[in-house]
Amino acid sequence: MNSVHIIGRTIVGIICIGLTLSAAAKTFDPNIESECERLWLDHAKRISKSDRPTTIQLLNTWASYEDKCSASGYYWAKRASLEAALGQFGAAKATLKRSPEGAADRSPALAITQIHVRLEEYIAAARSVDVRRLAEFETEVTVVARRFPNWLPAAALLGGLQVLQGRYAQAIQNLEKASTDKHADQGPILRNLTIAYSGFGAHSAALESADEALKVDSNLTADPDFCAAVIISSVRVDLLDDAEIVLKVVLRKNPSARSSPSLGRAARIYNEAREKAGVRK
């Protein structure tokens, strides 16, 4: 597994998008924090009813709210998240530094994003993730989650980290909590929940979650970790034909998935089940 999938990453390299670099406001304003969050949610509602814009388009649009929202932590958090989603980790970290002094103590969005950007940068650079390093990130997120217990994105990030560590029971608890957030992008949450259910052995729940995830994000059919979970759960409930279809689709859409350890394991489980059933592949 190579991504926590909370913000939806599309690595396209470092690009210049001509954003202004005016100085951030020095004083955090909780009223502007709330207003900025409403602006984002309203914007998200509008785009969900039309063609989904690219991450670059979202970033350019969001940058236009700087004068109105620079006294918030939420604005800088969302902007940094979008930059990180483009693989622009240097820009994302620079953006976070422009937030009002002390804002992370009052803005859960900023506090979580400061951790999430570093986590995504680590995962992007690492050939293989170190479970001990993931545990360190989890500790940081847990501190923020306890400080802001009603901030559901913290539960989503915790669940994603726990999936990466193979701690599925805890992941399910956090991801189910995160899935109640009506404003969240449910695709990454349901993706991780599918993997957690499958890893935990709740295979019917995994397949139900996968169906919901694909309604939100059809691109998950190219995600080897997600598809591996679907294949294994399909095999476990004797849906071998469904497992075969998923395996063929992911390999067609994403040929590099052949090198995925999780998909390789799922393929072996599928092949063993076929042989045991006496059905020729």
Condensed to tens digits (0 to 9), the pLDDT of residues 110-148 reads 999 999 999 999 999 988 889 999 999 999 999 999 999
pLDDT at 150 over 80: yes
Fold (topology level) of 185-281: 1.25.40
**Cα–chain-centroid distance for residue 187?**
8
- Has this prediction a pTM greater than 0.75? yes
CB 169 within 8 A of CB 195: no
In the chain, what are the domain boundaries?
1-14+24-184, 185-281
User: Between 1.25.40, 3.40.720, 3.10.20, 3.40.1350, what CATH number should domain 1-14+24-184 receive?
Assistant: 1.25.40
Condensed to tens digits (0 to 9), the pLDDT of residues 186-199 reads 999 999 999 999 99
- In the numeric block, the tokens 């599925």 are attached to 168
Q: For residue 130, count CB atoms less than 10 angstroms from its CB and return exposed for 0-12, middle for 13-18, buried for 19 or more.
A: exposed
Condensed to tens digits (0 to 9), the pLDDT of residues 202-231 reads 999 999 999 999 999 999 999 999 999 999
Q: Which of 100, 91, 37 is nearest to 59 (CA)?
A: 91
Tell me whether the CATH fold assigned to 1-14+24-184 matches the one assigned to 185-281: yes
Tokens of 72: 């918030």
